[in-house]
Chains A and B, each alone.
Chain A
Amino acid sequence: MSSLPSIRFLLPVVTILFGISFSDLALTFPAATASGQEPEAGKQPQVQPQPQQAPKQQQAQKKAQTSPPSHPIVAGYERFRTADARKSTQSPQWKNGALLLSELNCQSCHGTIDGLPLPARQAPDLTKVGERVSADYLVRFLADPQKIKPGTLMPAIHLPNDTQEADRFVRALVSFLTEDSNFRPGAVGSDAIQRGERLFHSVGCAVCHGDQRISEADRPAFSVPLGDPAEKYSIGSLTGFLLNPHDVRPSGRMPSLNLTDEEAHDVASYLIREVDVEPNISYAYFEGDWQSLPDFTTLTPVTTGGTTDFSAKVGARENQFAVRFSGYLQIEEPGEYEFSLSSDDGSRLLVDGNEVLNLDGIHPADWTQKKVSLSRGPHPLVVEYFENSGEESLRLLIAGPGMNRQSAAAWMTITEAKAEPKPGQFVADRSLVEEGRRLFDSLGCAACHSRGRGDNRIQWTGKAPSFAQMDPNKGCLSETPNTIESPDATGNVTAATVLSDSKVPRFSFSQRQRSDLRLLIQSVTQSKSETPAQSGAEGIPELTGEQRIEFTMTALNCYACHERNKRGGIVTKTDKLFTGAIPEMGDEGRLPPHLNGVGDKLNPEWLRTVLNEGARDRPYMFTRMPKFGHAGARALAETFTETDVRKEELSVEMPVAEHRYKADARHMIGDRALGCIKCHTFNEFKVVGVQAVNMTTMTKRLRREWFHRYLMNPMEYRPGTRMPTAWPNGRSVLPKILDGKPDVQIESIWKYLEDGAEAKVPSGLQKQSIELKPTDRTIIYRNFIQGLSPRGIAVGTPEKAHFAWDAEDFAPRLIWHGAFIDAAMHWEGRGPGAQSPLGDHVMELPSGPPIAVLNSLDSPWPTESPRDSGFEFDGYKLDGNGVPAFRYRAHGLQVTDELRPVVTQQDAGLLRTLTTSASTSSGDSTNSDGSTNSGAMYFRIARNREIELRDGEWVLDQSIRCRFTAGQPLVRNSGDFKELLVPVESRIQYQMEW
């Protein structure tokens, strides 16, 4: 018995290590050994490349030549095919074929097949494809999908052998698909590209699609190809797709990552970063130091020209410039449009000569919005922008009828005239639209793709053999599809002839894919004969819950992020794509959880929510749980529950009333007991260091029985977790609470957490102020003080004149009155951050060095850090009242700096005494250039914009008054500032009041 626990413990660990390397290794095989067919160039119709697209075209051709022969890429199939085939005894042979069948949606032509755990993957909805996808791209893609997008699931349609004829087919189809549509490529900004690159490689896109920053060969072979989004999409249409992928692809294989509008725009900008757009906006660039938008009519621009975006980066400068953008906004559909403007610093938007939005002044990036009704046609649009200093940014977005929120730049033209198509650009040919519509049906497009919603959907009128009837060596599965086959000897209609004119699509299957599909079809036929009771139903054998889970997770590619029962999970090549905001949390803070027993862990409702809506329960993790939101995902949630839930009776008898045990639970969670809140977020309270899952969401997410078991032994469920148990060996570390009974204690915590946002806040979260009050003696507080170096030493006096002396600057840096300081920031929790004075009248004094050798009074005050120029801190001595005298050595001198409170008529002042003597100890250098004798030594007392002598007092910026009782102060100019210097004497003394 005793070895059992360790085995249970061992397995997940081994998986973490070896699961990764094995599956990764295995996955390199398919690509290497797959014998996908070379495109048969001779048989394929060629659409003449458009001249202006030649470079791109060549690039694509080059890609196709260097890549291995491409075949449809189904991520789960690519990843597990080899491994699954190896363990064929456990894994039915038909499984790989069934996966392909589901993902290629063979059912759309060949009829239903029973028993698959999730609906087949639907091809993209083409209802509005013309707005989404460039017609030029469609022309090239339809001619040879695998060549334009290697790995695509789209088969090549059967086109006539005659090149011109084929070209006409394609043009007809594209004319039909893009008729009356409004596709406008837009420019993308470099900031958005950068942000998008970060998002793409952190939120999860790259986990399925591969790290785009490394070569294709270095990505896992199961990466889902992206094709060339810059050729295919516009910035607006791709943004829209990323926001709602399920609108176009309802089967959820491309899940939604719940991106915000801005995030979607950024990711889209990154994906189409190579887009090449003609300048369509005029700009004039000006230079100058402005605090608000200048009157552009009075200025002469430094440069003018055309650009493609309303961007802060149009000119040479990063600071002190202004830009005026102008052009015409081309509106196709009249209606209400919302403009969103953001800028750092100021900007404003004018449409039709009227000011629509105004963000003038110096400020960080901020958004403002307004809706405007616009008629069809061109509208003069002007954006004015200026930047003073610091960060700079400018963005103008537009949303309106049939247009999701996107960069307004795409819809601009320089002149009033509507944008003309570029020479050679595809323009829908109305005369071909009807033929295109017919072809959409007759070529079989309509079998997979919907076009038109509901009753308007174009129906496929063709026919294909059912799975039971088909010859698995023919039709799409023939080695040489598209060859016309005769009826066989018996006169039966074969697969190939059913589809009119043998127009079977060509999928470019690899040999292995073909054989897997054949195996499946044979198995379906056999299973039918074995179980006559089910005759009529074509199906795969009945699956266990775990098999259904495995199939669904493979199809949806859940395994890219999650491991379950030693299958899938992160591989070496994807590991770097998982990052988090809190590196201190280690892998727990960056890697999505394993799904072993997830149906036991999460309650059914939450499982459904997570799969339907996505989740952000681990806000520290950059990778997001995406939203699948369809029937297959819902079924998966149910199957998890059915399969995983451990049936057990958990009844806990509570020995005391609810209000008592909840109070005990609150105590247990707090910092005076188990301290759960030292790592876990609790409602709005977040700790510093580790921010583990919010405790008050736990009862909403978890199953109570699991929670009980997990708390007793976290390591059993999450090997390597930092979550400790408070019940080691089944024994509570709190024997006095609720009789020390583990189940009662855990149940109390559960019940308490069920109060969610209403749960009373446990001890240790609401920071109590720890005000340090110097009542009868001076208090020293050495810690991180705001505005000082980390070597700050705050001194609080009973007279309420306080100061903070900096052992990096060797000088007092802050003085203030009233309350001294609140130590709670540093004395609660781990104590991060720098604290500001608690009181009022906070005044800043100059930073160091406090003493310098000047060759003449024209020499600038040195800016080198005092420590780097030989200052050495010696600490301080306290007098009988605890008042410190700071001591340091510099320039061969031993210096003592003492500030002592002095009661005055108003608030107390500070009497500062600086004494110097020749330093006795070695090590304190003279000036680094040995100039001690060539210049004079000064203390710098103040550096302010204004320093005046008034009634014997030096007044600094009208706020601090310094009265000298020893020393000969003098004032000098230093740029925009003045400096109050005192030649070094053995004793200098002055009193500060403020």
Chain B
Amino acid sequence: MRTQNTFGTQYWLAALILFSIAGFSRQNAVAGEKLESVESDYYEIIRYPIPEGIVLEAGAVEILPDQTVAIATRRGQIFIVHNFFGDDPQKVEYRLFADGLHEVLGLTWRDGSLYATQRCEVTRLRDSDQDGLADEIETFNDDWGINGDYHEYAFGSPFDKDGNMYVALCLTGSFGSDSKWRGWSLKIDRDGKMTPFASGLRSPGGIGFDLNGELFYTDNQGPWNGTCSLKWLKPGAFQGHPAGLKWYSLVSDGSLRLPEAAKSGTRMIEEADRNPDYEPPAILFPYQKMGQSASGFACDDSEGRFGPFHGQMFVGDVTHSTVMRCYLEKVGDHYQGACFPFREGLSSGSLALKMASDGSLIVGGTNRGWGSRGTEPFALERLRWKKVVPFEIQAMRAASDGFLLTLTEPVDVDSAKAIDSWSIQTYTYIFQESYGSPEVDHTTPKIREIHVSDDGLQVHLVIDGLKRGHVHELQASGVRSRGGNPLLHSLAYYTLNSIPKE
């Protein structure tokens, strides 16, 4: 009986600790409760009414030269939204432009035509008789396979400066590539001619460009993807999932070299070291911490009209109904960078993102087939900066000895220099053929020195124990602005594929 009693004591001790933890997260909850309202002090969400009868499961968004907005839906319709940028969102008007298309997930405008990426093809739509309805539905390119599996989605990019567009083709399910070019990104030139561009994709959620016109796409947690990520579509590069490699047999002109298939059970960085064809993700979105299904994205090219983040990428997440923020930098020959929470509380699953020329961010939502925190089945929304600068980590750059942070407002030097204001841990994911991965290989580097620039906008964290290939999760909960405000988002996740030499 004695042992039993002892055990009982241990038990209550454990329970006490657990309750304390519960208490702790409850405190967080209070902070959390404020978060949405605090975010809305800086970025408001304009929610557009959608008339009864329209199922606006937004798969793609484009802004037309007359400042109307084209929304393509998963039901295969394209609506032109009028008065979108007017003062009163209630006054928007939806006019059907086309229907009968097959789950459109890409929409872009050129020379009087809309180019829609359907499951089966890129289609050029034109209203030749100017009655408001498309009457020429022309196949622009359909050089890829489709076999009837619901998972075989096709996402289309905007046009690049040379007039090329790119499609990102989901695999057949998570593991296979049963139709031609599944698991590939294809380039389609101005004349509609297709060239295979990059392989190894799994389940893209969006494809587009950064400010410099570099092509990126998001991929989702699953085989060979421990968590969701933003990846650089370097021409000819292999993105990790080997299922689509079989289509190299169709590349007859020798323009692409068959990459070595990935090795399961390793780490992304090991694979990148072993296999020069493999391009590791530029930014990992830690699973459940940042989101669970990365989707469309838009680059802020608004010259400050969207706040202090010009040039950064804003990425949607369907499950969490959020928009995340990404700071990308090129270190050596590859991209890497940090992601930050940015805005939660979208009404449905954020799927299609588009930056408007007025510096607002259009977010089209749908949660059909996959759950989202936002409970509306579909939504059309717009994020607008309220011209108040939030106290945020504007940029996070890797340095040879740590990280360089740029803040949007000067920091309170004492709080920034206090070692307790910061904490950092690192981890990565298993690179494997089975689905997903837990976080693994955790380490806790030490912050050795903290330097603050005279203007208070730069903080240099000198860190012992940087871990190449790991996500560096930085928590800056103790940092205050000169005005005494905490950071709007004190978490940052930097994917350190490479440590700069200098």
Of all chain B residues, which has the CB nearest A541? Answer: B3
Q: Give the complex CA separation of A791 and B120 in angstroms.
A: 7
* Contact of B33 with A by CB under 8 A: yes
Contact of A646 among B18, B221, B434 (CB under 8 A): B18
* In the complex, chain A residues whose CB is within 8 Å of the CB of B148: 784, 790, 834
User: Which segment of A221-229, A274-282, A578-586 sits at the interface?
Assistant: A578-586
User: Which segment of A3-11, A319-327, A363-371, A505-513 sits at the interface?
Assistant: A3-11
Contact of B438 among A647, A679, A720 (CB under 8 A): A720
* Contact of A830 with B by CB under 8 A: yes
8 Å CB interface, B1-52 against A? 1-4, 7, 11-12, 15, 17-21, 24-26, 28-29, 31-33, 35
* Contact of B222 with A by CB under 8 A: yes
8 Å CB interface, B264-283 against A? none
Q: Are A728 and B21 in contact (CB under 8 A)?
A: no
* In the complex, chain B residues whose CB is within 8 Å of the CB of A676: 371
Q: Give the complex CA separation of A882 and B149 in angstroms.
A: 29
A544 to chain B, nearest CB (A): 5
* In the complex, chain A residues whose CB is within 8 Å of the CB of B370: 675, 678, 830
Q: Are B371 and A877 in contact (CB under 8 A)?
A: no
* In the complex, chain B residues whose CB is within 8 Å of the CB of A791: 120, 142, 146
8 Å CB interface, A735-792 against B? 779-784, 790-791
* Contact of A827 with B by CB under 8 A: yes
Q: Are A5 and B24 in contact (CB under 8 A)?
A: yes
* Contact of B486 with A by CB under 8 A: no
Q: Give the complex CA separation of A733 and B346 in angstroms.
A: 11
Chain B 422-448, CB within 8 Å of chain A: the 1/0 string? 010100001000111111101000000
8 Å CB interface, B93-125 against A? 99-103, 118-121, 123-124
* In the complex, chain A residues whose CB is within 8 Å of the CB of B28: 729-730
User: Which segment of A162-170, A437-445, A666-674 sits at the interface?
Assistant: A666-674
* Contact of A487 with B by CB under 8 A: no
Of all chain B residues, which has the CB nearest A786? Answer: B148
* Contact of A22 with B by CB under 8 A: no
B356 to chain A, nearest CB (A): 27
Q: Are B174 and A584 in contact (CB under 8 A)?
A: yes
Contact of B31 among A16, A729, A832, A874 (CB under 8 A): A729
For A544, A720, A827, A833, which residue has the most chain B Cβ atoms within 10 angstroms?
A720
8 Å CB interface, B116-173 against A? 118-121, 123-124, 129, 133-139, 142, 146-151, 173
* In the complex, chain B residues whose CB is within 8 Å of the CB of A857: none
* In the complex, chain B residues whose CB is within 8 Å of the CB of A783: 76, 102
A823 to chain B, nearest CB (A): 8
Of all chain B residues, which has the CB nearest A834? Answer: B148
* In the complex, chain B residues whose CB is within 8 Å of the CB of A6: 425
Of all chain A residues, which has the CB nearest B125? Answer: A875
Q: Are A790 and B174 in contact (CB under 8 A)?
A: no
* In the complex, chain A residues whose CB is within 8 Å of the CB of B20: 1, 4
Q: Are B375 and A673 in contact (CB under 8 A)?
A: yes
* Contact of B369 with A by CB under 8 A: yes
Q: Are B435 and A4 in contact (CB under 8 A)?
A: no
* Contact of B292 with A by CB under 8 A: yes
A638 to chain B, nearest CB (A): 14
Q: Are B435 and A587 in contact (CB under 8 A)?
A: yes
B209 to chain A, nearest CB (A): 27
Q: Are B138 and A874 in contact (CB under 8 A)?
A: yes
Q: Are B21 and A877 in contact (CB under 8 A)?
A: no
* Contact of A288 with B by CB under 8 A: no
* In the complex, chain B residues whose CB is within 8 Å of the CB of A882: 133
Of all chain B residues, which has the CB nearest A794? Answer: B100
Using A873-B142, A875-B137 as known contacts, say yes or no to A730 and B29 having CB atoms under 8 A apart: yes
* In the complex, chain B residues whose CB is within 8 Å of the CB of A647: 11-12, 15
Q: Are A2 and B435 in contact (CB under 8 A)?
A: no
Using A2-B423, A6-B425 as known contacts, say yes or no to A875 and B435 having CB atoms under 8 A apart: no
* Contact of B336 with A by CB under 8 A: no
* Contact of B497 with A by CB under 8 A: no
Using A783-B102, A832-B149, A834-B148 as known contacts, say yes or no to A724 and B292 having CB atoms under 8 A apart: yes
* Contact of B367 with A by CB under 8 A: yes
* Contact of B89 with A by CB under 8 A: no
Q: Are A876 and B438 in contact (CB under 8 A)?
A: no
* Contact of B75 with A by CB under 8 A: yes
Q: Give the complex CA separation of A876 and B321 in angstroms.
A: 37
* Contact of B377 with A by CB under 8 A: yes
* Contact of A463 with B by CB under 8 A: no
Q: Give the complex CA separation of A588 and B400 in angstroms.
A: 39
* In the complex, chain A residues whose CB is within 8 Å of the CB of B136: 875, 877-878
Q: Are B137 and A587 in contact (CB under 8 A)?
A: no
* In the complex, chain B residues whose CB is within 8 Å of the CB of A733: 321, 373-375
* Contact of B319 with A by CB under 8 A: yes
Q: Give the complex CA separation of A720 and B24 in angstroms.
A: 22
8 Å CB interface, A701-738 against B? 713, 715, 719-720, 722, 724, 726, 728-731, 733-734
Q: Are A780 and B99 in contact (CB under 8 A)?
A: yes
Q: Are A13 and B100 in contact (CB under 8 A)?
A: no
Q: Are A877 and B26 in contact (CB under 8 A)?
A: no
Q: Are A586 and B375 in contact (CB under 8 A)?
A: no
Q: Give the complex CA separation of A783 and B135 in angstroms.
A: 19
* In the complex, chain A residues whose CB is within 8 Å of the CB of B374: 733
* Contact of B309 with A by CB under 8 A: no
* Contact of A542 with B by CB under 8 A: yes
* In the complex, chain B residues whose CB is within 8 Å of the CB of A452: none
* Contact of A427 with B by CB under 8 A: no
Q: Are B32 and A730 in contact (CB under 8 A)?
A: yes
Contact of B371 among A585, A675, A688, A884 (CB under 8 A): A675
* Contact of B368 with A by CB under 8 A: yes
Using A689-B369, A873-B139 as known contacts, say yes or no to A807 and B120 having CB atoms under 8 A apart: yes
* Contact of A17 with B by CB under 8 A: yes
* Contact of A390 with B by CB under 8 A: no
Of all chain B residues, which has the CB nearest A872? Answer: B139
* In the complex, chain B residues whose CB is within 8 Å of the CB of A832: 149-150
Q: Are A13 and B438 in contact (CB under 8 A)?
A: yes
Q: Give the complex CA separation of A23 and B120 in angstroms.
A: 49
Of all chain A residues, which has the CB nearest B147? Answer: A790
For A16, A715, A875, which residue has the most chain B Cβ atoms within 10 angstroms?
A875
* Contact of A648 with B by CB under 8 A: yes
Q: Give the complex CA separation of A830 and B203 in angstroms.
A: 14
* Contact of B394 with A by CB under 8 A: no
* Contact of B175 with A by CB under 8 A: yes
Q: Give the complex CA separation of A674 and B1 in angstroms.
A: 48
* In the complex, chain A residues whose CB is within 8 Å of the CB of B436: 586-587, 720, 722
* In the complex, chain A residues whose CB is within 8 Å of the CB of B434: 586-587
* Contact of B288 with A by CB under 8 A: yes
Q: Are A720 and B137 in contact (CB under 8 A)?
A: no
Q: Give the complex CA separation of A726 and B19 in angstroms.
A: 21
Q: Give the complex CA separation of A676 and B440 in angstroms.
A: 28
* Contact of B360 with A by CB under 8 A: no
Contact of B288 among A8, A585, A715 (CB under 8 A): A715
Q: Are B369 and A831 in contact (CB under 8 A)?
A: yes
Q: Are B29 and A731 in contact (CB under 8 A)?
A: yes
Q: Are B150 and A875 in contact (CB under 8 A)?
A: no
* In the complex, chain B residues whose CB is within 8 Å of the CB of A10: 442
A582 to chain B, nearest CB (A): 10
* In the complex, chain B residues whose CB is within 8 Å of the CB of A689: 150, 369
* In the complex, chain B residues whose CB is within 8 Å of the CB of A731: 29, 32-33
Q: Are B438 and A878 in contact (CB under 8 A)?
A: no
* In the complex, chain B residues whose CB is within 8 Å of the CB of A648: 15, 19
Of all chain A residues, which has the CB nearest B102? Answer: A782
Question: 8 tightest CB-CB pairs across the interface, nearest first?
Answer: A586-B435, A780-B100, A730-B29, A729-B32, A675-B371, A830-B369, A720-B438, A875-B138
Contact sample, A vs B, 20 pairs, CB 8 Å cutoff: A4-B21, A10-B442, A14-B442, A542-B3, A583-B174, A589-B435, A646-B18, A671-B377, A676-B371, A724-B320, A724-B373, A730-B25, A730-B26, A784-B148, A790-B120, A807-B120, A831-B103, A831-B369, A873-B139, A877-B135
* Additional 8 contacts, C-beta under 8 A, given A647-B11, A729-B28, A829-B369: A16-B440, A544-B4, A583-B173, A728-B320, A782-B100, A784-B148, A831-B103, A873-B142
